[in-house]
Structure 1
Amino acid sequence: MPSSSPSTYVTRHTRPEHPARRLVCFPHAGGAASFFRPWARYVDPSVELLAVQYPGRENRFREALIPTMNPLASAIADELLTLPPLPTVFFGHSMGAAVAYETLLRLQQTGAAAHIARLCVSGRSPDGAAGPAVQTDEELVEAVRCLGGTHAAVFDDPDLRELLMPAIRNDYHLIDSYRRRTDAPLLHADVHALTGDRDPRVTPEEAAGWSAVTSGSFAVTVLEGDHFYLVPAAERVARLTMEPVEPLPV
């Protein structure tokens, strides 16, 4: 069974003896590293599959939540710097797309991102969804239900709801208060945006806005489904992240 590495932000889902590449996955708001555990069945055996574990959930349940982007992305970057360099892809879904982007920016600023070949951003536009921030727990529950995904059913269980709500509340506050810097340096890594064709949070056209954050190549893939299109399409998405993609025409 996969276990956490000494780096508390990193959970290892595969441990190839001689890894050739690395895939680092960043979960959505309220999500955890285990969301990406099924991907271990779909990536090539030579791929080291890692998932970021935010504080306040699963094996880090008793740790303090981090309510803002800057300390979270900086802490993740610091721990990823302790890993030996490998050709690497970042994949982030929803809030995780923004966390992955900010983490990569920090790694690039240290000069330690040359081995990171691609950023895959899923279910989010570069500047997030428009609209008012959710305020009450009832609004949070309704927002999560509208998006679908694995959390929706657990709200019917009062005990599970009580366990999950602090992390969800924290993460929605984090991503609602986050604003991407318009003067941020361009990424050197290629960027691949993925989204569902019925995602209420981001249209394919909005996802294409990620092309503005990189000097590398850019591609968009639209798959069938809602905000959590990647759950039924886990195998295809896992494989897409590690495969070459055709850039959009200039």
Structure 2
Amino acid sequence: MFPHAGGSASSFRAYSAALSPRFRVLCVQYPGRQDRVRDALVDDVRELARGVAADLARLDDRPPAFFGHSMGAVIAFEAARLLQEATGRGPARLFASGRAAPARPARSTAPLVHLMSDADLTAHLRQSTATDPRVAADADLLKSILPPLRSDYRAVETYHCPPGRRIACPVTVLVGDQDPLVPLENAAAWSEHTSAHCELLTFPGGDHFYLLPSHDRVIEVIIDRLGRAPAPAAADGNGRSTRHVQP
């Protein structure tokens, strides 16, 4: 599981607890936070993906499934591509959550978050629905969070993916239908980045962090998709299809 910008492995604590009775759950810990606080920050999406892909390539195991939220979705995509190149097989499925397709921009923000002043970046963090109110009220803790947060935003805001770059596994796209950062047409464009089946699931009333209130339904989707055989792609000339589903 690949966290969002500013997130950590513990961001998926509740999801890991719910899924671990059925699956072996591994949560990516980006450098410069929590138990990796002494590791140098990495502000490049492909470099972050490269480390994950290298670790997974050494595992002699069943193909993993990737779940990435927001920034984590494009890191998961790049890790899937690198793993596919290195081993000849990528993940069994990619769950791309809360993120426009790699070659499509998220809805723009001005100024770019990674160029904000510390004061503006702190205000941005406090406004996020994913920020624990206790964190927002702790000035010292906020100050310690700013460097990895800025590094993550620099990584995702400078990321560029050429149109047509693809992976071979099915893709399930999940997005809140009220997400101000991810227009639905840009979420649907994930179909351009897989040679397999692609589906778009929208969560009514959900914003960018729909994962919090929709926890149980997302868990059901993950369990269901990993328990079924891959759906055949539609014959559209490119072997791709997109289904719009309200879970």
Q: TM class, shorter-chain normalised?
A: 0.7 to 0.9
Q: Pick from 198, 202, 221: which aligns with 1:218?
A: 198
* In 2, Cα distance between equivalents of 1:80 and 1:87: 9
Q: Is the 8 A contact 2:164 2:192 kept in 1?
A: no
One-letter identity of the residue aligned with 1:189: C
Q: Pick from 57, 60, 68: which aligns with 1:81?
A: 57
1:235 and 2:211 equivalent?
A: no
Residue 9 of structure 1 is matched in structure 2 by none
1:37 and 2:9 equivalent?
A: no
Q: Is the 8 A contact 2:31 2:40 kept in 1?
A: yes
1:176 and 2:157 equivalent?
A: yes
Deviation of 1:39 after TM superposition, in Å, equals 1.5
1:122 and 2:114 equivalent?
A: no
- C-alpha change, 1:199 and 1:146, in structure 2 (3 Å) is farther
Residue 87 of structure 2 is matched in structure 1 by 111
More strand per residue: 1
* In 1, Cα distance between equivalents of 2:36 and 2:177: 34
Moved more, 34-43 or 91-100: 34-43
* In 2, Cα distance between equivalents of 1:161 and 1:55: 17
Deviation of 1:200 after TM superposition, in Å, equals 1.1
Q: Is the 8 A contact 1:190 1:216 kept in 2?
A: yes
1:70 and 2:46 equivalent?
A: yes
* In 2, Cα distance between equivalents of 1:56 and 1:89: 25
> 5 Å matches for 1:126-145?
126=101, 127-129=104-106, 130-132=108-110, 133-134=112-113, 135=115, 136-145=117-126
Deviation of 1:151 after TM superposition, in Å, equals 4.8
Deviations 1:83-119 (A, max 9, x none): 22214210000000010001101011123425x2211
1:149 and 2:130 equivalent?
A: yes
Deviation of 1:241 after TM superposition, in Å, equals 2.1
One-letter identity of the residue aligned with 1:52: V
Aligned-residue Cα RMSD (Å) equals 2.1
Query: 1:52 is paired with a residue of what secondary structure?
Result: coil
* In 2, Cα distance between equivalents of 1:52 and 1:190: 21
Q: Is the 8 A contact 1:154 1:160 kept in 2?
A: yes
One-letter identity of the residue aligned with 1:125: A
1:158 and 2:139 equivalent?
A: yes
- C-alpha change, 1:220 and 1:64, in structure 2 (3 Å) is same
* In 1, Cα distance between equivalents of 2:134 and 2:99: 23
Structure 1 unaligned blocks of 5 or more: 1-24
The alignment covers a number of residue pairs equal to: 224
One-letter identity of the residue aligned with 1:54: Y
Q: Is the 8 A contact 1:42 1:239 kept in 2?
A: no
Q: Matched residues, percent identical?
A: 38
Normalised by the length of structure 1, the TM-score is 0.82
Deviation of 1:49 after TM superposition, in Å, equals 0.8
- C-alpha change, 1:215 and 1:183, in structure 2 (3 Å) is closer
- C-alpha change, 1:249 and 1:31, in structure 2 (3 Å) is closer
